[in-house]
Amino acid sequence: MKKVNAQASKSSGNNKPQLEINKPSQQKYWHNPWKMFFWYAILTIIFLYFFQNSVKIQRREISYSQFQHYLENNQVDTCVVTAKSIEGKLKIKDKKTGKPIYFVTVPLLNNDLAKNLDTHGVKYSVKLTNDWLSEFFYAWLLPIGFFALIWIFLSKRMGKMGSNFLNLGQNKVRIHADTLPKVTFKDVAGVNEAKLELEEIIKFLKNPDYFHNLGGRMPKGVLLVGPPGTGKTLLARAVAGESDVPFFSMSGSDFIEMFVGVGAARVRDLFDQARQKAPCIIFIDELDAIGRARGGVSPIGGHDEREQTLNQLLVEMDGFDSASGVVVMAATNRPEILDKALLRAGRFDRQIIVDKPDLKDRIEILKIHIRNLKLDKKVDLQVIAQRTPGFVGADLANIANEAAILAARFGHKKITMSDFEAAIDRIIAGPEKKNRTLNKEEKHRVAYHESGHTLVAVMVPTGEPVHKVSIIPRGMGALGYTLQLPVQEKFLSTKNELLDQIAILLGGRVAEEIIFGDISSGASNDLERASDIARMMVCRLGMSEKLGPLTYGKENRSEYLGISYGTEKNYSEETAQLIDTEVTEIIETNHKRARDILNQNRAVLDALARRLEEEEVISGDEVREIVNQSKK
């Protein structure tokens, strides 16, 4: 696994979990054919019951004594005796309607009845069977139907939570291939690095046996990491589309229910299903919903359900061989909160970063989303892309759609540039207000800031190679970043390396000082990190000559979790002052060092900043090229 040493600068705001833009709709209640059948059956029976009742003849209820009275007077014509009733017809007719009177009465069964009927010449018969249909209706269907109605009512009221009520243990896994239109890599623009890495997995899924015979092992879990809307879900679907295997997709939040244990059952079920269909992909979208680090103190007494679900997921991921052909993919925009256990070898050990698109990629993404739109000839995608730094794929898709809507509203025959302009304005200023876009001036400043970091990183003796510099605002709070990758994985840092790191962190701020004469609020995170390193060197690592090889401050930490509960001051006021001067000294020395480096290489700084402003992202190779060229 690569150690990514990102120097994110310019912090502003924090990232909130964001709603997904095209969250797949929940499973529809009526889509289950068995439930449909059930309700049809009940309706039919209710209908039959009332139908049967309505064709029944209207009977007059009479008391037994009255019946006896009629009998005595020879007024009973015929009757049917059952265990529960005597029904029959009288000889007398209704005075008003002139129709024969039908009656029903509760029998008082005795031996005399038959004799009495005989003596009075009534044609009678005895029926043993009861009206089973009405019995069934009243005793069974009515109560069941009643409760079912309450249930439905409740579930409607409680929304999603309630509908799960009805299908508790059931899984809500969807197999995408059948339901959604196929997505391939052609539908995903940009994210070339991610695509390249996923290519390998596609090859494996297409031919797992081949890999297996070679003795190769596939990663079990692939985690797509990136800000919301950058196409993580889309990429996962594209992998399924490209490799033509079943795609089991579930969102992290689908696992979590109101009842403890349901999520775990769903995880088990999901993996069971997948194993039967291998080779296939399991995709868990928004993994952070279940993958949040365990053991946190929660205000309402723990999240047993989530922990159980997470544990089950870990168990399942350990429990299958990667040769079985099941690849687990997941996506998250908050990798920092994931439980460490999830990222261990044999689980999500491969992480693919899906970053925000740069200018070129934004043009490509726009091209995809205008495929089916009628555009005016004057529409210039380049200009649109230039106006939208920091926009992600989802935003760009939104712009295309919004432009089409606006064109229709204004009655344009084709979508014009002004429609696009209006769409961009709407989305920037719209309800989900994004202050992610930088204006020209800010962009200029951020370009110099990041170039400052980069140049110092290139110039200091122990600086790790720069991998990428970007001034695309990141959702994660940074307006730009310089990414350095170590040549080797490192577990130790020397004093000189730490000092260089401090200089690199200060480089951004220094560049602003030199170029603009003042500094912006954006560098606060850099400063915080630089001071942290300096303080750590003095207090914990014994790297200060004046204070010597001692540690200052006793840290209270949990042996098990490695979590620090803060430090205890175990030194005098004087020492505290000394620590402060030492820390300040370290910072100031390195501030000067960074300043010297940048002043001496002003031409390179300008060249870097210019290129960065134009292209938004430059790779490490380009950085080295620019540095070498301008040095000549």
List residues binding ligand ADP (CB under 6 A): 20-22, 188-191, 226, 228-234, 331, 365, 368, 393-394, 397
Burial of 400 (0-12, 13-18, 19+ CB in 10 A): buried
Question: In angstroms, what CA-CA distances link 129 with 81, 82, 103?
Answer: 11, 8, 19
Cβ proximity to ligand ADP, 221 vs 522, nearer residue? 221
Residue number, 9 or 398, with CB nearest to Zn ion: 9
Ranked by CB distance to ligand ADP, the top (closest) residue is 393
| Residue from 246, 335, 463, 508 in contact with Zn ion (CB under 5 A) | 508
The reply to whether 105 sits near Mg ion by the rule CB under 5 A is no
Token representation of residue 497: 């390396």
SS3 of 529, please?
helix
Binding partner at 208 among ligand ADP, Mg ion, Zn ion, none, C-beta below 5 to 8 Å by kind: none
- What is residue 280's DSSP assignment? E
- The entry of Mg ion, ligand ADP, Zn ion, none near residue 526 (CB within 5 to 8 angstroms by kind) is Zn ion
- Residue 221 CB, shortest distance to ligand ADP, in Å, is 17
| Dist CA 332 CA 290 (whole Å) | 11
Of 20, 364, 450, 464, which residue is the catalytic one? 450
Q: Cα(552)–Cα(575) distance, rounded to whole angstroms?
A: 9
The yes or no reply on residue 233 touching Mg ion (CB under 5 A) is yes
513 binds Zn ion (CB under 5 A): no
User: Of all residues in this chain, which one has the CB nearest to Mg ion in the complex?
Assistant: 233
Cβ closest to ligand ADP, residue 325 vs residue 393: 393
Nearer to Mg ion by Cβ, of 9 and 233: the residue is: 233
Work out whether 230 is an interface residue with Mg ion (CB under 5 A).
no
Query: Nearest approach, Cβ of 9 to Zn ion (angstroms)?
Result: 2
* β-strand pairing of 280-285 with 221-225: unpaired
37 phi-psi bin (left φ>0, alpha ψ -120 to 50, beta other): alpha
Q: Does 452 bind Zn ion (CB under 5 A)?
A: no
130: CB partners within 8 A, 6+ apart: 82, 83, 84
Rounded Cα distance between 41 and 512, Å, is 76
d(CA 580, CA 589): 14
DSSP string, 166-180: HTSS----EEHHHHS
Report the nearest approach of ligand ADP to the CB of residue 161 (Å): 24
Q: How far is the CB of 234 from Mg ion (least distance, A)?
A: 8
Nearer to ligand ADP, 232 or 535 (CB): 232
C-beta of residue 247 within 8 angstroms of C-beta of residue 205: no
CB 332 to Mg ion: min, Å: 9
450 is catalytic: yes
Beta carbon nearer to Mg ion, 284 or 375: 284
Q: What is the DSSP letter of 550?
A: -
Question: Does 251 help bind Mg ion (rule: CB under 5 A)?
Answer: no
473 binds Zn ion (CB under 5 A): no
DSSP 65-122: HHHHHHHHTT-EEEEEE-SS-EEEEEEEE-TTT-PEEEEEE-----HHHHHHHHHTT-
Rounded to a whole number of angstroms, the CA Rg of the chain reads 38
Q: Is 333 in the site for Mg ion (CB under 5 A)?
A: no
Taking the least distance from each CB to ligand ADP, the nearer of 187 and 442 is: 187
Which of ligand ADP, Zn ion, Mg ion, none is residue 483 near (CB under 5 to 8 Å by kind)? none
Return residues touching Mg ion (CB under 5 A).
20, 232-233
Could you list the active site residues? 450
Binding residues vs Zn ion (CB under 5 A): 9, 508, 526
